[in-house]
Amino acid sequence: VSAMQLHGGNLSELVGAVLKETGLDPSRLELEITETCLIKDIGRALAVLRQLKSLGVQIAMDDFGTG
């Protein structure tokens, strides 16, 4: 997930709609974000990540701690 996707609007709504349409078990979907995505607007990022987690989606951090 890019910073633009994370901060740009309706990511959680889009993911929720796709999960509903496809019938995919949310626990089978893992979205990868970089720590750089969080830095742009930590409050907004956390709100979106919480929404995604409430859908049952898995979140992974890419390149965490690599500088």
**Calpha distance 44→22 (Å, rounded):** 27
Distance separating alpha carbons of residues 63 and 43, to the nearest angstrom: 21
**What residue ranges of the chain have pLDDT lower than 70?**
63-67
pLDDT value for 4: 86
**Residue 6's pLDDT is what?**
86
Model pTM score: 0.84
